[in-house]
């Protein structure tokens, strides 16, 4: 294990970027030098990190000279263009975009679930999609103990997953709505798509663009990333997964209604709850009589995945349901990315 | 068929009450006299109905003397107390509360789905729960043609389903949130329960109180009402139904992510879409390439049920998914109630 690391954050000025910094400070990764990289537009901006003030630099291939570890969250195109340059210069990159997730040579990691795949890395490790991470984290102990046959998930996804500008747009729309003014939508559901619709006090059953089979790319990601993480094969037929992804007018914190069928007929709700309670990173909030269940407002700023409403499908002995909530910028992005990096450091893989 | 009817609206001053009036005016029911009934607190209030101004009266057993038809939406306790009195005086009552829905002698009706059950009425006909109506309306043509094996639904329910005061509370909370003030919650998730939580920019996986098995009463209603409407047996084992009901920060319009399995392996997405398109009251909004799908803001004020995102579960040949949206105060309450009344009139059952 090296004594200290030169770390670069790519996309330092975004909503996830600022959280990558605080998670890095919170982690046990020894940082010698921290470089903050962003687009030309943000270069020159000064950002406080612990007791230093760091000037943001424009991200270029040469920026990665001498860098050991890159934490990247600047969008898929930037990752595709710059991460191979970083790897060429000897850096190991943890990428929080979809650029490399489906590359069979790139490990797709949820710490605590499949860290052992890290040994196969070739310079780039992918952080899964936010909505995938919290579901897989919750399901992994069940999968390990009972086996999983099928997952049917409906998501309730916060606007911050679409970036800071979409988040601002929703807050502006909410103000307009409360003042009986028309709502202006120019970003959501997805930047660059044909039409834009207001999200405030509305529901948008579209996250990311549509595929030819009628699924959105977000749904596609949940299906194939889940299979890659749990079964190491993005098309594994043994576990059936399907998803409906919906954007809801919440700032931070994704909710998921997860229906799952296990292989082992002896699984019970009490056992499932206790298995999850024993798993690091999972917090059980499940006491209906006391009205205790996960809520996005309570999950904001937390690293854990919160699970409640665990119950049996009364008519299907091997089926269960649960309600999973996590901070999509923390558990679903910054915390997961930095935990992957910490796992790499601990395993001496950088 | 009578030439005209004395009609009473019970709960005339609520969010559904005002819509019952406009739906009654829109219907073909010939109204001779309209009586507006409410609690003592609202008595004396004057409300415009077409070219008349009608004074609200306190609802009492004697209020129903001479009344032919009662449209009721004043809460379950009021219905339980007053509708038997109305029936005793010769009125036929269409009740938009849960008071009589599970009574095996009371027809539970979605017009266009099971009107034929109206002939068995004994004075009271129940209007189903808002979230049940739109799902059953969408699924009925599929059920009739292919048979249904299983339904798994996750709901995204608007605050107006919890009443006008809950609706106001959420708007107040949204203002507080935008002004960085603490949010005050005294009503939601459910009046009279132990704890109250803010709904603005949040998600509450509790609608109505919890049952002993961990399901909420709202989920219980969706399961058993669906079976009663489609199979005429609230516990029918042939169709498995399960539900997760979540309150979302939307004013009007429930969304539903519905996963369903059919008996007939020859069903296709195109056939399902075309069957629905031919069904009165259903509107297909399903063109992913043009980003056309149902949204609560677009459904507000409409009588129809809007269906989109219809697609096959790629790994399960008999399973499909769809996204269903309807105005919970109109399709889920006032329109359905008045359509039941119109069906009674047409069938000469009053």
Q: Any CB–CB contact under 8 A between B179 and chain A?
A: no
pLDDT digits (tens, 9 = 90+) for A126-149: 999 999 999 999 999 999 999 999
Q: Any CB–CB contact under 8 A between A214 and chain B?
A: yes
**Which of A134, A257, A296, A322 is best to mutate for the B interface (most B CBs within 10 A)?**
A257
Report the candidate in A69, A63, A74 with the shortest Cα–Cα distance to residue A38. A74
Contact status, residue A309 vs residue B205, Cβ threshold 8 Å: yes
What pLDDT, on the 0 to 100 scale, is given for residue A3? 82
Give, for A295, the enclosing helix (H) or strand (E).
none
Nearest by CB: B249 against A198, A201, A240:
A201
Provide the annotated active-site residues of A: 130, 254
Contact map slice: A 191-210 vs B, CB within 8 A: 193-195, 197-198, 201-206, 210
Residue that the structure tokens 């969304």 belong to: B255
Chain A partners within 8 Å of B193 (Cβ): 291
The radius of gyration computed from the CA coordinates of chain A, to the nearest angstrom, equals: 20
Between CA B281 and CA B107 the distance in angstroms is 21
Phi/psi for B94 (5° steps) reads -105, 115
Nearest by CB: A289 against B154, B210, B315:
B210
Chain A partners within 8 Å of B257 (Cβ): 154, 205, 244, 246, 257
The domains located in chain B, with CATH, are 5-128+333-346 (3.40.50.720), 132-327 (3.30.360.10)
pLDDT digits (tens, 9 = 90+) for B187-205: 999 988 999 999 999 999 9
Cα–Cα distances (Å) from A248 to A207, A222, B37, B190, in that order, read 10, 17, 38, 21
HSE-up of B139 (CA within 13 Å, CB side)? Answer: 33
Burial class (CB in 10 A: 0-12, 13-18, 19+), A120: exposed
Contact status, residue B259 vs residue B149, Cβ threshold 8 Å: no
**A214–B288 CB contact, under 8 Å:** yes
What pLDDT, on the 0 to 100 scale, is given for residue A191? 87
The radius of gyration computed from the CA coordinates of chain B, to the nearest angstrom, equals: 20
**B251–A201 CB contact, under 8 Å:** yes
Contact map slice: B 259-288 vs A, CB within 8 A: 259, 269, 288
**Which of B205, B206, B259 is best to mutate for the A interface (most A CBs within 10 A)?**
B205
Between CA B49 and CA B67 the distance in angstroms is 18
- Quote the strand ranges of A39-173, DSSP E: 46-49, 52-55, 57-58, 69-72, 92-95, 124-126, 148-157
Contact status, residue B208 vs residue B190, Cβ threshold 8 Å: yes
Contact status, residue B248 vs residue B157, Cβ threshold 8 Å: yes
Between CA B255 and CA A205 the distance in angstroms is 9
Q: β-strand A5-10 against A31-38: which pairing, if any?
A: parallel
Q: What is the pLDDT along chain B (350 residues), one digit of tens a residue?
A: 678 999 999 999 988 999 999 999 999 999 999 999 999 999 999 999 999 999 999 999 999 999 999 999 999 999 999 999 999 999 999 999 999 999 999 999 999 999 999 999 999 999 999 999 999 999 999 999 999 999 999 999 999 999 999 999 999 999 999 999 999 999 999 988 999 999 999 999 999 999 999 999 999 999 999 999 999 999 999 999 999 999 999 999 999 999 999 999 899 999 999 999 999 999 999 999 999 999 999 999 999 999 999 999 999 989 999 999 999 999 999 999 999 999 999 999 99
ipTM more than 0.90?
A: yes
Tokens of A327: 């901070």
Dihedral over Cα of B78, B79, B84, B86: its sign: positive
Q: Any CB–CB contact under 8 A between A320 and chain B?
A: no
Between CA B132 and CA B154 the distance in angstroms is 12
Phi/psi for B316 (5° steps) reads -130, 100
**Which of A244, A253, A269, A317 is best to mutate for the B interface (most B CBs within 10 A)?**
A244
List, run by run, the mean pLDDT of 10-residue segments along chain A (350 residues): 90 93 97 97 95 96 98 95 98 97 97 97 98 98 98 98 95 98 97 95 98 97 98 96 98 98 95 98 97 98 98 96 98 97 97
Contact status, residue B211 vs residue A220, Cβ threshold 8 Å: no
Chain A partners within 8 Å of B224 (Cβ): none
DSSP A207: -
Tokens of B114: 């099971």
What pLDDT, on the 0 to 100 scale, is given for residue A2? 75
């Amino acid at each position: 294990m090296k004594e200290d690391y030169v770390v670069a954050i790519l996309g330092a000025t975004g909503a996830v970027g600022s959280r990558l910094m605080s998670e890095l400070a919170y982690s046990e990764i020894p940082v010698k030098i921290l470089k903050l990289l962003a687009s030309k537009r943000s270069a020159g901006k000064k950002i406080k990190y612990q007791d230093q003030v760091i000037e943001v630099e424009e991200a270029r291939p040469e920026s990665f000279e001498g860098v050991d570890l890159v934490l990247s969250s600047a969008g898929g195109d930037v990752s595709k263009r710059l991460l191979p340059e970083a790897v060429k210069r000897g850096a190991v990159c943890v990428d929080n975009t979809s650029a490399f997730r489906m590359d069979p040579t790139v490990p797709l990691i949820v710490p605590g679930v499949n860290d052992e795949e890290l040994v196969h890395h070739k310079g780039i490790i992918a952080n899964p999609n936010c909505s995938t991470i919290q579901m897989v984290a919750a399901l992994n102990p069940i999968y390990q103990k009972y086996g999983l046959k099928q997952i049917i998930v409906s998501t309730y996804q916060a606007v911050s997953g679409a970036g800071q500008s979409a988040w601002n747009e929703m807050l502006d729309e909410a103000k307009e709505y409360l003042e009986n003014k028309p709502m202006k939508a120019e970003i959501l559901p997805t930047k660059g798509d044909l039409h834009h619709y207001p999200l405030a006090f509305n529901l948008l059953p579209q996250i990311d663009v549509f595929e030819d089979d009628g699924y959105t790319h977000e749904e596609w990601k949940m299906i194939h990333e889940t299979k890659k993480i749990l079964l190491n094969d993005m098309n594994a037929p043994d576990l059936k997964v399907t998803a409906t992804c919906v954007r809801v007018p919440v700032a931070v914190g994704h909710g998921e209604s997860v229906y799952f069928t296990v292989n082992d007929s002896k699984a019970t709700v009490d056992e499932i709850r206790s298995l999850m309670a024993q798993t690091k990173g999972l917090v059980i909030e499940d006491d209906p009589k006391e009205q205790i269940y996960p809520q996005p407002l309570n999950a904001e700023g937390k690293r854990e995945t919160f699970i409640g409403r665990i119950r049996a499908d009364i008519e299907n002995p091997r089926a269960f349901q649960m309600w999973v909530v996590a901070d999509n910028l923390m558990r679903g992005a910054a915390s997961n990315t930095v935990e992957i990096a910490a796992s790499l450091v601990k395993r001496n893989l950088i």
